[in-house]
Amino acid sequence: MGDEQDPLLPIANVGRIMKRILPPTGKVSKEAKETMQECVTEFISFVTSDASDKCRKESRKTIYGDDICRALGAVGLDNYAEAIVRHLHKYRVAALNQHKATTSSFEDKMKNRIEVASHLIKRMKLQLNKS
């Protein structure tokens, strides 16, 4: 199995990913899942190590998606890097749209509350003036 210092991805997740590629009646042996589990863990460690080295040289503590994309290219996986760059762009656009939707929703709620509060204050002033 894997090195104690390198936690492995859950075998069930690895198996599910492998099963997606197979025909419905296809099966994956336990040995194949464990082998893939170790390979995937090693791959993630390898790419992350390269990204981490670059961050350390730049005195940064955080690895970003762009660092992973650059590391994929640096280790000779340019085709994957290009695909990940496209995915990262889509992710950022979706996150920005989600943020805008949440922010505008919050702003709308606050405007509504201010209008209600203003209306209540006006009513209170009218009642005080009548007294």
Nearest to 87 by CA among 106, 68, 111, 59: 68
- pLDDT tens-digit profile of 7-23? 899 999 999 999 999 99
Give residue 16's pLDDT. Answer: 94
- Work out the pLDDT band at 98, boundaries 50, 70, 90: confident
Q: How many domains does the chain have?
A: 2
Give residue 3's pLDDT. Answer: 47
Task: Give the domain range for residue 109.
Answer: 77-131
67: domain CATH number is 1.10.20.10
Q: Does one domain contain both 70 and 81? A: no
Residue indicated by tokens 């939707």: 101
- Of 60, 76, 92, the position where a domain reaches its end is 76
Q: Does one domain contain both 70 and 9? A: yes
Span 61-83, mean pLDDT? Answer: 90
Q: Does one domain contain both 6 and 70? A: yes
Query: Cα dihedral sign for 112, 109, 93, 90?
Result: negative
Percent of the chain residues topping a pLDDT of 70: 88
String of b and e for 37-75 (b: at least 16 CB within 10 Å)? bbeebeeeeebeebbbeebeeeeeeeeeeebbbbbbbeb
Span 105-114, mean pLDDT? Answer: 74
Give residue 125's pLDDT. Answer: 67
Which segment of 20-29, 38-47, 89-98, 114-123 scores lowest on mean pLDDT? 114-123
Q: Does one domain contain both 55 and 100? A: no
Nearest to 30 by CA among 20, 18, 40, 22: 18
Give residue 6's pLDDT. Answer: 63
Rounded CA gap, 74 and 67, in Å? 10
Q: What is the pTM of this model?
A: 0.62
Q: Does one domain contain both 48 and 25? A: yes
